[in-house]
Amino acid sequence: MSQPQQTAVRNRLLGALTPDAFAHLAPVLEAVPIGMTEVLIEANQPIAYASFIEDGLVSLISNTAEGRIEVGLVGYEGLIGVPLLLGTNRTPHVAMVQAGGRALRIGVSELRAAIDASPALRGVLGRYVQSLIVQVGQTVHANADLQLEARLARWILMMHDRLAKDELPVTHDFLSLMLGVRRPSVTTATHILEGVGMIQNRRGRIYVRDREKLLDLAGDAYGLAEAEYERLLAEA
């Protein structure tokens, strides 16, 4: 198996590493496809791999008494397996692929050995943990304080950032899971956004038509976590 070259990887965390820090990871990174609805981490089960996302989207999902709801979203800016960076090997949250793509995965013992050997790697990954905490906090704010249309706008913006294209592969069933509401509510909200020209809604697809309007609707629920990620990555 050939080793990935740092200049060719798309994952922003891997790209931010010093060449020496990346060299600790490269021999043990395995390129794998990730398919839609594939579960990368099961709730309360031992985590086998950390996955640096190269392309695609993964939702971090909480199972509640009222149903399932997304608490975090990860694309090529991050990795799946944050609990491993914090000294544990399991989490109550599910990591499910929302849009298929590719990842570079690494076993638990290999990841921990690389972190122990490279303070620079530990620094980059620690800053990512902080950025994810901020994102989750903003999700709490959105779910508590915003109407569904604004929450949907924020979610579309986050997906747009990570897929870097205007065509977003998503069904209303998946949207209802991500936003923690019933499917008819999602249908109503998407019709409202479409009616004012923000998106175009098609079966299994949402097309971004006016990002500025989406930003206005999402308000301060979008932007803070994104700015914090860029600040922390610049520090690294």
Q: How far apart are CA 8 and CA 210, in angstroms?
A: 31
Write out pLDDT tens, residues 97-136.
999 999 999 999 999 999 999 999 999 999 999 999 999 9
Comparing CA positions, the residue from 114, 71, 118, 75 lying closest to residue 97 is 75
Q: Is 128 found in the same domain as 30?
A: yes
Q: Is residue 61 part of a domain?
A: yes
Comparing CA positions, the residue from 64, 74, 217 lying closest to residue 152 is 217
Question: Quick check: 79 and 50 in contact, CB under 8 A?
Answer: yes
At residue 179, the pLDDT reads 84
Q: Is 130 found in the same domain as 94?
A: yes
Tally of structural domains, the chain:
2
Q: Is 12 found in the same domain as 114?
A: yes
Q: Is 120 found in the same domain as 94?
A: yes
Give 1's pLDDT tier (boundaries 50, 70, 90).
Answer: low
Question: Quick check: 129 and 13 in contact, CB under 8 A?
Answer: no
Which range of residues forms the domain containing residue 134? 6-140
Q: Is 73 found in the same domain as 186?
A: no
Non-local (6+) Cβ contacts of 219 within 8 A are: 146, 150
Q: Is 111 found in the same domain as 25?
A: yes
Q: What is the pTM of this model?
A: 0.93
At residue 26, the pLDDT reads 94
At residue 137, the pLDDT reads 94
Give 181's pLDDT tier (boundaries 50, 70, 90).
Answer: confident
Environment class of residue 197 by beta-carbon count within 10 Å: exposed (0-12), middle (13-18) or buried (19+)?
exposed
Write out pLDDT tens, residues 128-176.
999 999 999 999 999 889 999 999 999 999 999 999 999 999 888 888 8
Give the domain CATH number at 151.
1.10.10.10
Q: Is residue 233 part of a domain?
A: no
What proportion of the chain, given as a percentage, has pLDDT over 70? Answer: 100
